[in-house]
Amino acid sequence: MLRNDLPASTAPAQRSLTVRQSLLPAVGLCVLVLCIALSLALGSRPLPLSTVLDALLGSGAGHGRDADADVVTGLRVPRTIIGLVVGAALGVAGAVAQGITRNPLASPTTLGINAGASFAVVTAIYALHLTRPVEYVWFAIAGAAATALAAQAMARRAGDLDPTRLALGGTVLAAVLTSWTSALMLTSRRTLDEARFWLAGSLAGRGLDVLTPVLPLIVLGLALAFAVAPALNALALGDESAQALGVPVTRIRVLGGLAVVLLAAGAVAVAGPVAFVGLAAPHLVRLVLGPDHRRLLPGCLIAGPILLLAADVLGRVVVRPSELEVGIVTAFLGAPLLAVLARRAAR
């Protein structure tokens, strides 16, 4: 799309890349639709797609089908929508986090955002006796935002934000907060019981009402992320070159950081801390679409939900009739996947 204006004499390798780039959004969307279908159909009670469609269209008739329809519309539809939103937020947050820090290993986790949200939620469970994910939302948002602000404050030097210090500050804060979270849970059995499922990261057991407070944050975060995308391309050339190209480097870093906080806080508030999606989605997209953030961010909007829904579906079928929390699956699958990516990149 960006290359229409070029003469047709480009090299074969480049042409195949261009073909790949024009086909990939379609392929990506198809995979995403497949993941959505699987997410609606599979679970402890597998349903044929026709039943799923009937339930969605409200045309299910006859006895025994109502229970199936309830499973689809009452449980699996909200779960799938939450997966789409959280996956998109995590994928884009990861891409922007890597862009503003110029660090391919950056993610909401390394910026301390997940640890901050976890600490706030566990503290709230401990002190206020909360029990439902919808009650955790505001605490998660506040904890995530406070940690991100603290990391930014630690990274500030003479008015500039140092990207290495940003990642380092986030990692240090994450370590400290995680130890406090563990301490709280070890001293209170009730807190441990309430928090452990949320802390694993899960899309289950939530209604669409958990999305209400976070949707504005995620929409704003996405808008900010897409607004800074062209500047992130220039920022990739180093601070000096970016500045010489007229990029207000510190302002972009602050706005990009804000986008990461809004997106990651929104995601963690809904699903708990889910690792690796924010890290892996940008890497996967970069492998096929290249480093341009104007393509990378839309790509992550598709790749994030694919990864998250696929992991969630897998978690439902591997230990049937029980299930694994999605955060456990992403961590389990994400680590080796990333090792493979790192080896490929090094070659």
Partner 1 sequence: MTTLATATRNELATHRLALRYGSRTVVDGLDLTLPGGAVTAIVGPNACGKSTLLRGLTRLLDPAAGTVTLDGSDVHRMPARTLARRMGLLPQQPVTPEAITVESLVRLGRYPHQRMLSPWSAADQAAVEEALTRTGTAELRDQPVDRLSGGQRQRAWIALTLAQDTELLLLDEPTTFLDLRHQLEVLDLVAELNTDAGRTVVMVLHDLGQAARYADHLVVLHEGRLAAAGPPAEVLDAALVEAVFEVPCQVVPDPETGTPLVVPRARARRPTTH
Residues of this chain that interact with partner 1 (CB under 8 A) are 2, 5-6, 10-11, 13-14, 102, 104, 227, 230-231, 233-234, 236-241, 243-248, 286, 290-292, 345
CB 228 within 8 A of CB 95: no
d(CA 250, CA 140): 27
Of 150 and 237, which CB lies nearer to partner 1 in the complex structure?
Answer: 237
Of 288 and 333, which CB lies nearer to partner 1 in the complex structure?
Answer: 288
SS3 label, residue 157 = strand
d(CA 331, CA 135): 25
Q: How far is the CB of 191 from partner 1 (least distance, A)?
A: 43
Q: Which of 29, 112, 46 minimizes the C-alpha distance to 298? A: 29
The enclosing H or E element of 160 equals: strand 160-161
SS3 label, residue 16 = helix
Of 191 and 233, which CB lies nearer to partner 1 in the complex structure?
Answer: 233
Q: How far is the CB of 233 from partner 1 (least distance, A)?
A: 6
Q: How far is the CB of 6 from partner 1 (least distance, A)?
A: 8
Q: How far is the CB of 236 from partner 1 (least distance, A)?
A: 4
Q: How far is the CB of 255 from partner 1 (least distance, A)?
A: 13
d(CA 173, CA 151): 7
- Residues near 220 by beta carbon (within 8 Å), at least 6 away in sequence: 262
Of 44 and 164, which CB lies nearer to partner 1 in the complex structure?
Answer: 164
- Residues written for the chain: 347
Q: How far is the CB of 334 from partner 1 (least distance, A)?
A: 20
Of 127 and 245, which CB lies nearer to partner 1 in the complex structure?
Answer: 245
Q: Which of 293, 253, 307, 289 minimizes the C-alpha distance to 91? A: 307
Q: How far is the CB of 209 from partner 1 (least distance, A)?
A: 35
The enclosing H or E element of 15 equals: helix 12-41
Written as six digits, the tokens of 112 are 């301390």
Q: ∠315-321-323 over CA atoms, to 5°?
A: 25
Of 7 and 64, which CB lies nearer to partner 1 in the complex structure?
Answer: 7
Of 286 and 316, which CB lies nearer to partner 1 in the complex structure?
Answer: 286
Q: Which of 255, 283, 226 minimizes the C-alpha distance to 161? A: 255
Q: Which of 325, 253, 303 minimizes the C-alpha distance to 32? A: 303
d(CA 271, CA 79): 10
Of 229 and 311, which CB lies nearer to partner 1 in the complex structure?
Answer: 229
Q: How far is the CB of 291 from partner 1 (least distance, A)?
A: 5
